[in-house]
Amino acid sequence: MTYRVTVGTPVSVRDGTQLATDIWRPETDTPVPALLVRNPYGRHQLANYGFTSPNIFRLVEAGYAVVLQECRGTFGSEGHYTPHIHEGADGADTVAWLARQEWCDGTVGTWGVSYLGMTQWQTAATGVPGLKAIAPSIASADLYRAPYYSPGGALSLDTVLMFATIMSANDALRDLACGTGDPAEPAAIGSAFDDLTAQASITPPTAHPALAARIPWIFGQAMGHPGRDETWRELSALDKAGSITVPALNIGGWYDPFAGETLRAYTEMKRHGGSPEARTGQRLIMGPWTHSSTTGVFPDRSFGFTASADAADMTGAHLAFFDRWLRGRDDPLDRPAPVRIFVMGTDRWRDEEDWPLPDTRYAPYHLDGPGPANTSSGTGTLTVKAPEDDCTDTYLYDPRRPVPTLGGSLMRPTGSAGPVDQRPVESRDDVLCFTSATLDTPVEVTGPVSATLFVSSSAPDTDFTVKLVDVHPDGRAINLCDGIQRMRYRDSLDTPEPMEPGTVYEITVDLIATANVFLPGHRILVEISSSNFPRYDRNSNTGGVIATEHDTQMSTAVNRIHRGPGHPSRITLPVITRETPVR
């Protein structure tokens, strides 16, 4: 097949701003469907279309026109870039423009990863005619819960600073290309990017002058609204689920910062989508991936060759999805189940009929042990049997000495994200460890994970973190999922409420989800503390505005976990009981 590439087509949106657009389309006299990608990182950087994205050449060879557009105010597009604000309207205007072109058959689909996925949700929420299907990957339809904050109300500091750094550098390069700007600025921003941990240590969090000058919305508007108020509700496409009438192919990774929102978009759209197609047409794929690595191979844990996005044929999944909804072919999606997940432990892909899995049994595993659970050498145990004795674990949380993040859902493009041995943090006296007995039979945990804790503190506000860990026979403690609860938001994300020092509160910590088989010889471990830095910002323990507080204003907190018959602290695991193949 031959195809034509038109570079730099200006597409005018409603306020007259022209957006730079490339069009790849088959050489044919018959109109074809269009697949749109809206990108703030540069439309000519083909690396931006990797990870879980489909292969552009295969899409064109399959008879689709592929349209690559730069978002307003980035690279070749006119206007000023402010994150997220214009994406809904600009996306809708572009879809309408595409549907009018003589080479287009009037149907449009969208695809893309990360920010490229968020633009899709915002476009779909406008209800624009012509848009028939979206394929957001490692993305979010609720910007508060990801990427900026979390289900528990803590700022996702590492993710926010990385995004701000990338966009600041791109903006500086754009100025240089236009003949303005400081030639030394991109290198200075790049140096900051090389050490995000040092950047994250700056207090207050808003004190990043090189970044704030370029992307003031993040350090002003985003950090200035730490609760999920009207600012965030207006930006949330998922809050407008009834206006979204198109099906979605949701793709995510178990170690991605957007994992929870990928899963939630699938479940919420099935319940509240604005059309039968939107409700029944949801599809979900979850792999053992981070935000920037989809190989399935990590220094401390390899999931095997079949774990990669390439081996899972993401292009084939996209083509089947678009063939169904843009071309009306009933057969492409008849065979695959609506949900496809990679189950770690057994390290295999598996098809399922829904998420959460219909045969899930939610099993409480209780925090127990005869004495203090501080460090992995303590006496904390994890049991299915309810404890008989009450106990209180106490530790000092000092925000100037936070528990460092080891792997997990970081966005940074290095080997530091994903499954990482947690033993270095388990020796700290501000980390509580509760470990099960060695397993004789496999235990599959696949689905949403949460912890119910009875807590108290000497401070008016503090955080509590929980981490689920798979301890291997060789001692490696591999993290699976984690969560954080900022206590001022324990009852509501939009109405902060201080703690009464010394009062015991029952809280639920959302650990998002996982899919893992704890194999015979392994142990199940739960870690509890009050910080996970720089994945999340540090709670200053003062009850003040954390984003504007210096480290000199921070206070230490004496935090306690209460457990036993009177305070049944526990983690609830989604247990799947099936015949499990053991590797």
Q: What is the per-residue pLDDT for 334? A: 61
Measure the CA–CA gap between 290 and 471, rounded to whole angstroms. 20
**Which residues in 40-94 belong to E strands, given as ranges?**
65-70
**What confidence tens digit (pLDDT) does each residue in 183-224 have?**
888 777 877 767 777 778 888 888 887 788 889 999 999 999
502 Cβ contact list (under 8 Å, min separation 6): 456, 458
> What does the pLDDT look like over 351-401, one tens digit per residue?
999 999 999 999 999 999 998 999 999 999 999 999 999 999 999 999 999
Distance CA 34, CA 326 (A): 9
Both structure tokens of 358: 């219909």
Catalytic site residue 114?
A: yes
Counted residue by residue, the chain has a size of 583
Question: Cis peptide before 147, with omega less than 30 degrees from 0?
Answer: yes
Which residue ranges form the domains of the chain, and what is each CATH number?
3-146+230-352 (3.40.50.1820), 156-222 (1.10.3020.10), 361-576 (2.60.120.260)
Under DSSP, is residue 272 helix (H, G, I), strand (E, B) or coil?
helix
Decide if 77 is catalytic.
no
pLDDT at site 582: 53
Which pLDDT does position 583 carry in this prediction? 54
Please say if 482 is a catalytic residue.
no
CA 40/CA 283 separation, integer angstroms: 26
Say what the pLDDT of residue 580 is. 62
pTM: 0.96
Low-confidence ranges of the chain (pLDDT < 50): none
pLDDT number for residue 415: 61
What burial class does residue 481 get, using C-beta atoms within 10 Å of its C-beta: 0-12 exposed, 13-18 middle, 19+ buried?
buried
- Active-site residue, selected from the candidate residues 256, 368, 421, 463: 256
Catalytic residue from among 53, 77, 114, 168: 114
- Other C-beta atoms lying within 10 Å of the C-beta of residue 175: 15
Q: What is the pLDDT of residue 572?
A: 98
The whole-number pLDDT of residue 6 equals: 95
- Name, in order, each residue with C-beta under 8 angstroms of 398's C-beta and a sequence gap of 6 or more: 430, 556
User: Coil, strand, or helix at residue 333?
Assistant: coil
Active-site pick, 86, 208, 291, 567 = 291
Query: What distance, in Å, lies between the first and last C-alpha atoms of the chain?
Result: 44
Q: What is the residue whose two structure tokens read 């999931």?
A: 303
Contact partners, residue 222, CB within 8 Å, separation at least 6: 83, 148, 160
Greatest CA separation for the chain:
78
